[in-house]
A and B are shown apart, each in its own frame.
Chain A
């Protein structure tokens, strides 16, 4: 069809490529033969990589919900005479220039990054899926109008698009999150549309129409639930890239204002002390990588279930 469609397809394939790439790694982990004990046999289906990914996400969610369970230090108030300490038993990840415990700042910053990513994925999921559903169900002129709009969104590089929206809405955590979310509308719309077209062609949807179902009822009862698995897989994938994109906007200074311990901002602040305090930039970056990798791994497992 169009050039944009080629690109979009390769984007999706690209994602699928990510998925396949490391599922092999994780599959290799559990090839070892477990024999004998029955309960061990039940463990065979468990993929260690996937378990690890879910535990990372679980811990991070707990950090976001109950930060005070995990650290006795404050995320914003420093301890006197404890500036720029290297990692030690007292401060596991060291302290920054104001004597604030870095681990505490990462933990207290989690809610910023997570809620930002949730808002971003929410915007993309709701708007994108709605557009895709409308396009896939209505067909004809509406469909081509919506999909050309999606092509336009795809033709503007994501960072430029989110920067334009940040200019429009102003700086701040929520605004940065919305800006990141808008960039994912196109891929959600594209996926939702193709899923709807696929499900629509199946016999049971024909049958539902044939037995007198109205358009809206069939859409809500049959088409939507059957299209959801791959949409959820994409949502998990977008969750990871939203965390990356939000931390990038935070690093550039368009996200949360300075006293807030947002992950990207932590790295930006640590940048002034790279000569003396390597831990200030290294640790938050590793946390971001772990969370994004885990989100991608989980997304891949959904993709498998849906296929």
Chain B
């Protein structure tokens, strides 16, 4: 067991190192250069020597390999470099932009879970077969919907047609309603799909047939026997959901004009701010790897059947 844990942690570290290297190679091999973009502006009236000096102060003039080693050491000690466009440390930018995104992501994720649960339960318990299959097709509709379009549509309906949520100067909670709803829809789709499939799978198990034969109703079986078994495998898509949350946040924040990690990403791409983008890539890779590591290590804890199987194998 401990060999397994050490192996998994080692693999996770390897993936992280590789993700850092890939993003470094990808972003440093750039033809464009954020420093040149910012300071070559003729209005600033800087001479070539001054620009060379600025480049030196950002450490952009040393060979790539030493830049690479330098930035690895810096990342390990929590130094993410300076944002060329904003002129402040990238770490500060990330910290300043994190809270609004965390709120958005947490609320969006909660709503998505509820939405997915409702869809999954209705798709098993709804009264007619045609209604059940209609509900089962809801997730595939959700995956096919462009997130930005959904956001605009919600603004159109709730703010302009129904006039329920003001567009100008909404309260802090009112301002979050539509973005959270926008974010929740694409996140709920994969969740609902995996829940529906798990429920279907568990429903065919012999112990369900036994419970039904003893006279249990469909809903009693669902709550007492199926739910516990169906929720567990949902854990495995945690990493994917995180990626979707991040992508959803970028688009949602762009649509609703919010400031957060998403807005930061968009500005970094627009101004070719490499340091910021690389920090974001590494940050998300770390989160992805940690989530998957946690899922892999915790799964046997939640599912006693796996523990027994492992003991039998050992």
Contact = CB atoms under 8 A, between A and B. Distances in A.
Given A14-B190, A157-B247, A281-B153, A240 B265 contact: no
Nearest to A271: B152
B117 to A, nearest CB: 16
B155 interface: yes
A288 interface: yes
A10 B146 CA distance: 23
B263 to A, nearest CB: 11
Interface string B179-211: 000000000001001101100000000000000
A168 interface: yes
B144 to A, nearest CB: 4
B146 A293 contact: no
B254 A17 contact: no
B106 to A, nearest CB: 18
B23 A21 contact: no
Contact of B27 (A25, A167, A244, A274): A167
A152 B19 contact: yes
A136 to B, nearest CB: 21
Interface stretch (B53-61, B126-134, B213-221): B126-134
B152 A148 contact: no
The A contact surface, by secondary structure, is: helix
B197 A7 contact: no
Contact of A3 (B12, B152, B155, B251): B12
A114 B261 CA distance: 31
B178 interface: no
A157 B193 contact: no
Contacts of B30: 167-168
B101 interface: no
Interface residues of B, number: 75
Interface in A224-281: 240, 244, 247-248, 251-254, 264, 267-268, 270-271, 274-275, 278, 281
A208 B146 CA distance: 47
B149 A13 contact: no
B301 interface: no
Contact of A6 (B153, B193, B197, B296): B296
Interface stretch (A38-46, A89-97, A118-126, A158-166): A158-166
Most central of B12, B146, B265 by chain A CB within 10 Å: B146
B266 interface: yes
Given A156-B19, A157-B284, A248 B196 contact: no
Nearest to A247: B146
Contact of A17 (B8, B145, B194, B285): B194
Most central of A28, A165, A166, A252 by chain B CB within 10 Å: A252
Most central of A21, A149, A285, A296 by chain B CB within 10 Å: A21
A118 to B, nearest CB: 19
B194 A14 contact: yes
Nearest to A274: B156
Contact of B15 (A28, A152, A240): A152
Given A28-B129, A148-B15, A170-B32, A164 B251 contact: no
A148 B183 CA distance: 31
A282 interface: yes
Interface string B275-289: 001001100110011
Contact of B196 (A17, A159, A164): A17
Contacts of A28: 129-130, 133
B144 A296 contact: yes
Interface in A1-45: 2-4, 6-7, 9-11, 13-14, 16-18, 20-22, 24-25, 28
Given A10-B237, A164-B23, A151 B152 contact: no
Interface string B124-166: 0000011001101101110111111110110110001100000
Interface of A: 2-4, 6-7, 9-11, 13-14, 16-18, 20-22, 24-25, 28, 148-149, 151-153, 155-161, 163-168, 170, 240, 244, 247-248, 251-254, 264, 267-268, 270-271, 274-275, 278, 281-282, 284-285, 288-289, 292-293, 296
Interface of B: 8, 11-12, 14-16, 18-19, 22-23, 26-27, 29-32, 129-130, 133-134, 136-137, 139-141, 143-150, 152-153, 155-156, 160-161, 190, 193-194, 196-197, 233, 236-237, 239-240, 242-244, 246-247, 250-251, 254-255, 265-266, 269-270, 272, 274, 277, 280-281, 284-285, 288-289, 292-293, 295-296
A-B interface, 5 closest residue pairs, ranked by CB to CB distance from nearest: A285-B149, A157-B243, A159-B247, A3-B292, A292-B144
Given A18-B140, A152-B18, 15 more contacts: A4-B292, A7-B292, A18-B193, A20-B197, A25-B134, A151-B18, A155-B16, A156-B284, A166-B269, A168-B31, A251-B148, A267-B146, A275-B160, A278-B156, A293-B144
